[in-house]
Chains A and B, each alone.
Chain A
Amino acid sequence: MKKILSIVISILFMTTSCSKMLDEYNPGGVTADAVYTTPAGFESLVSAAYGYQRMWYGKEEGYNISEIGTDIWTSAAGDIGPDMSKYINFQGTSGIIKLQWGALYQGVNLCNAGIKLIGKAGLSDAKRKQLEGELRFLRAFYNWHIVETWGGVHFTTEETNGIVTTANKTPVETFYTQIFEDLQIAVANLAPTTSDYGRVTKPAAMSFLARMYLTRGMNAEALAMAKSVIDGGFGYQLQPDYKDLWTMANNHNKEVVYAVNYANDLTFNDLNHSGVYTIGHGRGSNSGHMMFDMKYDNLPRMARIIEYGRPFNRYMPTRALLQMYSSDDARYEASFREVWMACTSANGKPTAGGWSISGDTAVIATRTTYAGMPSKVGKTTGYVVYNINTIYKADGSVNNMLVYPTLTKHEDPTRLTYNEAQSEREAFVIRFAELYMIAAEASMKLNDNATAATYINVIRTRAAKPGKVAEMQITPAQVTLDFILDERAREFAGEQLRWFDLKRTGKLVDRIKALNPDAAPNIQAYHNLRPIPQSQLDAVTNPDEFKQNEGYQ
Chain B
Amino acid sequence: MRIKNNFLKQKLLLSIALLFFLSSNIWAQIVVTGKVIDTENQPVVGANVVVKGTTIGAVTGIDGNFSISVPSSSSTITVSFIGYISQEIVVGNRTVINVTLESEATFLDEVVVIGYGTVQRRDLTGSVTSVKSAEIKKVPSQSPLEAIQGRVAGADITKNDGSSSSGITIRIRGNRSIGAGNSPLFIVDGIQTSSIDDLNPNSIESIEFLKDASSTAIYGWQGANGIVLVTTKKGSGDKLKVDFNTYYGISQVSRYPATFTGQEYAQIRREAKRTVGAWNSIADDPLIFQANELESIQKDEWIDYQKELFRNGSQQDYNIGVSGGGDKTKVYFSLDYLSESGILRMDDTKRYSLRMNIDQNFNKWIKGGIQSQLTTRDESYRRDPLNMANKIIPFGTIYDADGIFILTPGGGNTVSPLADEQPDVFKNEARINNVNANMYLELAPIKGLTFRTNLGMNIGNSRNGYYAGQNSIDRATSTGSQARYSASNSRFINWDNILTYHKEINDHSFTVTVLSSIVESLSDDVLAQADGQLLSSQLFYALGNAPTNKTLSSGFTKWDVLSYAARLNYSYKGRYLLTLTNRYDGASRLSEGNKWTAFPSAALAWRIVDENFMKNFSQLSELKLRLSYGVAGNSGISPYGTQSLLTTVPMSFGDSYFQGYTYSTLVGNVDTRWELSGTFNLGLDLGLFKNRIIVNIDAYDTKTTDLLLPRGLPPTTGVEKVNQNIGSTRNRGLEVAITSVNMTKKDFSWTSSLTWSTNKEEIVSLVTEGADDIGNGWFIGQPISVFYNYEKIGIWQTDEAAEAATFGQVPGDIKVKDQNGDGMIDAVNDRVVLGGQNRPKWYGGLDNKVSYKGFDMSVYLFARWGQMITPSFLGRYDRQSNLSNSSKAIDYWTPENPSQDYPRPNANISGSSTLYWSTLGLVEGSYLRIRNLSIGYTLPKLSTLGISSLRIYATGTNLFTKTKDSRLDEYDPERGGGESSPMTKSYVFGLNVSF
The answer to whether B882 and A295 have CB atoms under 8 Å apart is: yes
Give the chain B neighbours of A41 by CB distance below 8 A.
661
Q: How far is the CA of A265 from the CA of B655 in the complex (A)?
A: 7
Give the chain A neighbours of B657 by CB distance below 8 A.
263, 265, 268
Contact with A along B656-692 (1 / 0, CB 8 A): 1111111111010100000000000000000000000
The answer to whether B715 and A22 have CB atoms under 8 Å apart is: no
The answer to whether B651 and A50 have CB atoms under 8 Å apart is: yes
The answer to whether A79 and B913 have CB atoms under 8 Å apart is: yes
Interface 9-mer from A155-163, A217-225, A236-244, A459-467? A155-163
Given A19-B586, A351-B408, answer yes or no on A270-B719 (Cβ-Cβ < 8 Å).
no
In this complex, how many residues of chain A approach chain B with their Cβ under 8 Å: the count is 128
B285 to A: closest C-beta gap in Å? 9
Given A265-B655, A378-B294, answer yes or no on A110-B663 (Cβ-Cβ < 8 Å).
yes
Contact with A along B900-935 (1 / 0, CB 8 A): 000000011110110100000000000000000000
Give the chain B neighbours of A43 by CB distance below 8 A.
658
Interface 9-mer from B78-86, B377-385, B640-648? B640-648
The answer to whether B715 and A536 have CB atoms under 8 Å apart is: yes
The answer to whether B645 and A47 have CB atoms under 8 Å apart is: no
A310 to B: closest C-beta gap in Å? 8
The answer to whether B516 and A384 have CB atoms under 8 Å apart is: no
Interface 9-mer from A86-94, A176-184, A323-331, A503-511? A86-94
The answer to whether B661 and A102 have CB atoms under 8 Å apart is: no
- A126 beta carbon closer than 8 Å to chain B: no
**Which listed residue (B407, B477, B586, B826) contacts A419, Cβ 8 A?**
B477
Q: How far is the CA of A18 from the CA of B517 in the complex (A)?
A: 11
**Which listed residue (A18, A277, A352) contacts B562, Cβ 8 A?**
A18
Which of the listed residues A35, A47, A535 has the most CB atoms from chain B within 10 Å of its own CB? Answer: A47
Q: How far is the CA of A194 from the CA of B654 in the complex (A)?
A: 10
- A109 beta carbon closer than 8 Å to chain B: yes
In this complex, how many residues of chain B approach chain A with their Cβ under 8 Å: the count is 119
Contact with B along A326-362 (1 / 0, CB 8 A): 0000000000000000000000011110000000000
- A203 beta carbon closer than 8 Å to chain B: no
Contact with B along A1-38 (1 / 0, CB 8 A): 10011001101111100110111111111111001100
Q: How far is the CA of A303 from the CA of B290 in the complex (A)?
A: 10
- A294 beta carbon closer than 8 Å to chain B: no
- A487 beta carbon closer than 8 Å to chain B: no
The answer to whether A23 and B411 have CB atoms under 8 Å apart is: no
Give the chain A neighbours of B907 by CB distance below 8 A.
77, 401-402
The answer to whether B650 and A268 have CB atoms under 8 Å apart is: yes
The answer to whether A300 and B586 have CB atoms under 8 Å apart is: no
- A298 beta carbon closer than 8 Å to chain B: yes
The answer to whether B910 and A77 have CB atoms under 8 Å apart is: yes
B626 to A: closest C-beta gap in Å? 30
The answer to whether A535 and B775 have CB atoms under 8 Å apart is: yes
Closest to A379 in B: B291
Interface 9-mer from B67-75, B142-150, B298-306, B551-559? B551-559
Given A19-B586, A165-B713, A167-B716, answer yes or no on A12-B515 (Cβ-Cβ < 8 Å).
yes
The answer to whether B652 and A350 have CB atoms under 8 Å apart is: no
Q: How far is the CA of A197 from the CA of B658 in the complex (A)?
A: 12
A530 to B: closest C-beta gap in Å? 14
Give the chain A neighbours of B724 by CB distance below 8 A.
163
**Which listed residue (A268, A295, A399) contacts B651, Cβ 8 A?**
A268
Given A101-B715, A298-B882, A420-B478, answer yes or no on A263-B655 (Cβ-Cβ < 8 Å).
yes
Which of the listed residues A78, A304, A350, A384 has the most CB atoms from chain B within 10 Å of its own CB? Answer: A350
Give the chain B neighbours of A536 by CB distance below 8 A.
714-716
The answer to whether B829 and A30 have CB atoms under 8 Å apart is: no
A234 to B: closest C-beta gap in Å? 18
Interface positions, chain B 745-778, Cβ under 8 Å from A, are 768, 773-776
- B406 beta carbon closer than 8 Å to chain A: yes
Give the chain A neighbours of B912 by CB distance below 8 A.
78, 80
Give the chain B neighbours of A381 by CB distance below 8 A.
none
Give the chain A neighbours of B549 by CB distance below 8 A.
265-267
Give the chain A neighbours of B286 by CB distance below 8 A.
300, 377-378
B312 to A: closest C-beta gap in Å? 31
Given A77-B910, A196-B656, A261-B653, answer yes or no on A350-B408 (Cβ-Cβ < 8 Å).
yes
- A82 beta carbon closer than 8 Å to chain B: yes
Give the chain A neighbours of B119 by CB distance below 8 A.
none
The answer to whether A269 and B712 have CB atoms under 8 Å apart is: no
Interface positions, chain B 500-555, Cβ under 8 Å from A, are 514-518, 520, 527, 548-551, 553-555
Q: Which residues of A contact B (CB under 8 A)?
A: 1, 4-5, 8-9, 11-15, 18-19, 21-32, 35-36, 41, 43-45, 47-51, 75, 77-80, 82, 88-89, 91-93, 98, 101-102, 105-106, 108-110, 112-113, 153-154, 159-160, 162-167, 194-199, 252, 261-270, 273, 275-280, 295, 297-298, 300-301, 303-304, 310, 349-352, 377-379, 384, 398-402, 415-422, 533-536, 538-540, 546, 553
Q: Which 3 A-B pairs have the closest CB atoms?
A: A109-B718, A48-B660, A196-B653
In the complex, 14 of the A-B residue pairs with CB atoms within 8 angstroms, ordered by the A residue number, are: A22-B586, A29-B640, A31-B643, A48-B651, A48-B662, A78-B910, A153-B716, A163-B724, A197-B653, A263-B655, A304-B412, A350-B408, A352-B471, A538-B776
Q: Which residues of B contact A (CB under 8 A)?
A: 276-278, 286-287, 289-291, 294, 396, 400, 406-413, 415, 443, 445-446, 451, 453, 470-471, 476-480, 497, 499, 514-518, 520, 527, 548-551, 553-556, 558-560, 562, 564, 586-589, 595, 639-640, 643-665, 667, 669, 712-720, 722, 724, 768, 773-776, 808, 824-829, 880, 882-883, 907-910, 912-913, 915
